[in-house]
Amino acid sequence: MPTANLYSKLQTDEDYKLLVLNGELLAALEGNSKLKFKAPGLEGSVVLCSNDKTWLLRQKNHSNTALIMREFVSNELGEEKIKLPAGIEEPSVNHLAYTKQGSELEARLTIGDIDISMLPIYSGDNESFKKSLQQSNGIRWTVEELENISPCSEQEFAVKWPILGGCNVEGIACILSQEFISKVLHILLMSCMAESLNFESLDVSKVFSALNKDMGEGEEFNPFSLDVVRTVIGKFSRVNKQGKYALQVKAVSQWYGIEALKKFASCALIPQEEFMIKWKALFPPYFRCDLDFAALRGYFYRPLGTSIQYFSKDALPDDPRGRFAYLFKLQSTWDLNEMIPYIEQLNTTGVKIDNFVMKYARRKKQGKLTLVSAR
């Protein structure tokens, strides 16, 4: 039976932590993925990130004996060779035990996040942007600095950042305003069609050239910078296998639909059929795009059953009972499919949505529809 010498010469160091290597972490290490610890804030949880995944770390205390050891050559300690009793084989290895542990770190796979609440808003006016920066005392980060403090892997950050409207302006990480994104998107679509660019395989530099083709050479400031164009393309596209951007027409359609709700249905009800006509009219001429009204769920309600009105879930209470009560004040009976976007984030335990709804409301079947009303 193989034996080993175990030494304990160093003092216990509580700064060492044991991390349980689950299958996902082992796969990341075996794939030569560089792991990086991140602590977003003093009160924030520590996360561990690979190239494309994020794990939330939780300390689990225990009373089991756990030793961290280092293999070494016995003469490193300058001690005489130990004489072994007869019949005992020479130990094959020597271990130096240098700390005991009463806890372990467990890693749970989570979704990477980016906190944009403190970032400045850029609306395309450079002078106003500079003035607002001078007048405010907020923290200013570069995009690289923001990525380093975000509980998010590198690939997750690359995908989420443009979707959030994140952009580099004058070396500062900021968020493009909704109005500016709409303006850039509209001009971008028209420019691409004018230059006959393939929406399934867009190159950022070619789109940038097309969009700026008619800009005067003497212009002192161009709001349609390469970074702005890259952000807007990234927000409404996916990168294909060739590294090009494939425009997601459904995402573009939804964006125009939400803009149409804000423009035509914020202050008054509008019949759904009339709204569809106005929605279609907002697109650039000759831009082919199907209108899927279901994509606008979570941005409207039907107080009278047929006509619709714009409504943002940002105005809703955070507690489930308060939110359901508020929704039923807006509309006495809801189609479950139209209610889900307003309540799904509160279903933190992940139970079936029907069961979650039953805790706070009544539901009944009416043909293919599931109707929800107050208790």
pLDDT tens profile 251-267: 999 999 999 999 999 99
Token code pair at residue 72: 């070494």
The residue count of the chain comes to 375
Average pLDDT value for residue range 239-262: 94
115-119, 213-217, 240-244: least confident range: 213-217
Average pLDDT value for residue range 247-251: 96
- Is residue 60 helix, strand or coil? strand
pLDDT confidence of residue 10: 55
pLDDT confidence of residue 221: 62
**Does residue 115 contact residue 40 with C-beta atoms inside 8 Å?**
yes
70-79, 132-141, 224-233: least confident range: 70-79
Average pLDDT value for residue range 72-90: 62
pLDDT confidence of residue 98: 62
Q: What spatial distance separates the first Cα and last Cα of the chain, rounded to whole Å? A: 71
pLDDT tens profile 28-50: 888 877 889 988 765 668 899 99
Average pLDDT value for residue range 243-252: 94
Q: What average pLDDT does the chain have?
A: 86
pLDDT confidence of residue 300: 95
pLDDT confidence of residue 131: 81
Average pLDDT value for residue range 99-127: 87
pLDDT confidence of residue 59: 86
**pLDDT-derived band at 159, boundaries 50, 70, 90:** very high
The per-residue DSSP string of 248-288 comes to -HHHHHHHHHHHHHHHHSSSS-B-HHHHHHHHHHTSPTT--
Average pLDDT value for residue range 341-356: 90
More reliable by pLDDT, 103 or 123: 123
Do the bridges between strand 245-247 and strand 237-239 make them parallel or antiparallel, or are there none, so unpaired?
Answer: antiparallel
The per-residue DSSP string of 162-219 comes to HHTTEEEETTEEEEE-HHHHHHHHHHHHHHHHHTT--TTSB-HHHHHHHHTTTS-TT-
Q: Which domains, and CATH codes, for the chain?
A: 4-110 (2.60.40), 121-247 (no CATH), 312-375 (no CATH)
pLDDT confidence of residue 214: 63
pLDDT confidence of residue 287: 92
**Does residue 307 contact residue 214 with C-beta atoms inside 8 Å?**
no
43-57, 268-282, 285-299: least confident range: 43-57
8-12, 38-42, 139-143, 252-256: least confident range: 8-12
- Is residue 236 helix, strand or coil? coil
pLDDT confidence of residue 147: 94
**Does residue 285 contact residue 274 with C-beta atoms inside 8 Å?**
no
Max avg pLDDT among 71-85, 179-193, 201-215: 179-193
| Partners of 49 in beta bridges | 36, 54
pLDDT at residue 343 tops 70: yes
Question: Minimal CA–CA distance to 38: which of 61, 55, 26, 20?
Answer: 55
pLDDT at residue 127 tops 70: yes
Helix (H) or strand (E) holding 340: helix 336-343
pLDDT confidence of residue 85: 67
The single-letter DSSP state of residue 228 is H
More reliable by pLDDT, 76 or 73: 73
**pLDDT-derived band at 375, boundaries 50, 70, 90:** confident
HSE-CB of 351 using CA atoms within 13 angstroms: 10
pLDDT confidence of residue 64: 74
